[in-house]
Every structure is written in C-alpha cells, then in structure tokens.
C-alpha cells in the first residue's frame, strides 16, 4: 500500500493492484459484520452494483462468518427484471451464491416490477422492518462512484439532487434523464438519509480517471455537478476510500 491521501476526515487507501484492494475491502466487510453479530446477533449491510465490487462479492466465502446471521441489500438498482442482463440483483445474487447457500439473506430493492414508485415504497418498508419501523443503521455500506461523479443512482444534473439530501424517505424512484445522459434506465436508490445511517462506509473505486474525478468533486462539492463530493462533504461518518489503478 502506498502513502494514504486524505480528503478532510475521509482517508484514501491506495493499493497497487485490484487483488490487494479487494482484500482490504473484504477485511473491512469481515470486521464490520463480525462486530455487528457479536454485539447485536445480526449484521445488515448494503452493497453497490457494477463491475468494480463484483469480485468482492465473489470472494465473500473466503470470510469465516456465520452467514445465516447476515442480511445483504442494495445501495441502488436499475428498475429492470431481476433476470435482466442489466440487473445488479442478478449479478450480486450470482456472485454471492456461495454465501447465500450458507444462509445469507439477499434482499433486492426490486419489490414490484410493474411500478418503480411502488417498488421503492415496498423496499423502504422492508428496510424499516429491520428496525421496528425506523430507519435502519447499516453495519457496512459498500459504495462505488462513476467517472461522472455519481454515487448510488444520484447523477449530475438530475433533479433528484434538489431533494435527496433533505428528504426523510429512505428509498426513492429515479426517473431516466432527458437528452441521452445517465441514468438512461429508471432506477431505485437509497437516499442520503438512509446512507448517512451507516455505521461504516467503504467507497471502492478503481482507475486514475475515477480518482481524479473524486479529487475534483471534493474540491468543488456542488451536488448538481459533483454528487459524490456533496455526499462526502455532509456525511456524518468518516468514509474509508479504497483505490487501485
């Protein structure tokens, strides 16, 4: 590991290879879930979709955990059928299949394939059900970001940026953007209130382009142009940022 960068209270740990970075992310997951099970008898965590975290999900079975005490859900999801090639539910379920077979429960945000708003409402009810109707505290949140500085399904220039930092709602439908920009598909995302409730957050990114985008977002954290910068600026917990080339 090279010398760490810092963005205020958020530390960036840089690794020479994806294998080393994945090992660090897996260690953070193992620590957080183990502590949660020891303290509360159960662990609740959420993960991002996309290609970057996929190898992490594929290696979950290297962690020695009582998986029947673990529940995994999602940071966000494309509003597509769960067997669609674009579905992160499909990717995560297949990648984490070995630990699901050991008892881990995986809960998708897609709860109603006919209506994104209804799906978001049902997903919110599911999450609140883990904490007697209140917003749950996730034991670990594994986030990603895009080179366009988006996180979850909060994209630059999208109207959702005007409300996502203030709403008490935990799960929101996201309309496709106009003009051919992202998001091109309807989506469902956790709100900032939901993400802020995390006990620990790991932001895992790869590639120089994303690191430079993150630096720019931190320097100018305008939610309209740099959503990830705005999120980091207001997040109440220090974020463990893991990066490799």
Using 50, 70 and 90 to split pLDDT, how confident is the model at 5?
confident
Q: What's this model's pTM, rounded to 2 decimal places?
A: 0.96
User: What distance in Å separates the CA atoms of residue 156 and residue 75, rounded to the nearest whole number?
Assistant: 17
Q: What is the reported pLDDT for 4? A: 63
- Taken as a whole, the chain contains a residue count of 245
The residue-averaged pLDDT of 121-147 equals 98
pLDDT single digits (tens) 147-161? 999 999 999 999 999
d(CA 63, CA 34): 10
pLDDT tens, position by position, 101-132: 999 999 999 999 999 999 999 999 999 999 99
Q: Options 3.50.50.60, 3.40.109.40, 3.40.50.1360, 3.20.20.140; which CATH number does 16-204 get?
A: 3.40.50.1360
| The pLDDT value given to residue 49 | 97
Mean pLDDT of the chain: 96
Are 239 and 171 a contacting pair, CB within 8 Å?
no
Q: What is the DSSP letter of 67?
A: G
Residue 242 has pLDDT above 70, yes or no: yes
């Amino acid at each position: 590991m090279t010398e760490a960068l810092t963005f205020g209270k958020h530390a960036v740990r840089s690794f020479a290879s994806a294998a080393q970075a994945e090992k660090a992310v897996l260690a953070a997951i193992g620590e957080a879930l183990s502590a949660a099970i020891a303290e509360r008898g159960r662990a609740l965590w959420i993960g991002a979709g996309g290609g970057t975290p996929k190898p992490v999900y594929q290696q979950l079975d290297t962690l020695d955990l009582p998986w029947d005490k673990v529940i995994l859900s999602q940071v966000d999801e494309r509003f597509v059928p769960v067997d669609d090639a674009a579905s992160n539910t499909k990717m995560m379920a297949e990648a984490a299949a070995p630990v699901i077979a050991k008892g881990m429960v995986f809960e998708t945000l897609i709860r109603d394939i006919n209506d994104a708003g209804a799906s978001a409402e049902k997903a919110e009810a599911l999450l609140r059900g883990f904490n007697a109707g209140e917003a749950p505290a996730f034991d670990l949140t594994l986030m990603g970001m895009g080179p366009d500085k988006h996180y979850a399904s909060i994209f630059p220039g999208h109207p959702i940026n005007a409300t996502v930092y203030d709403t008490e709602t935990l799960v929101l439908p996201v309309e496709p953007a106009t003009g051919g920009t992202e998001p091109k598909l309807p989506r469902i995302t956790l709100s900032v209130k939901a993400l802020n409730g995390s006990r620990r957050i790991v932001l895992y990114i790869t590639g120089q382009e994303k690191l430079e985008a993150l630096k720019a977002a931190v320097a100018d954290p305008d939610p309209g142009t740099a959503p990830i910068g705005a999120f980091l600026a207001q997040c109440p917990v220090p974020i463990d940022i893991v990066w490799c080339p």
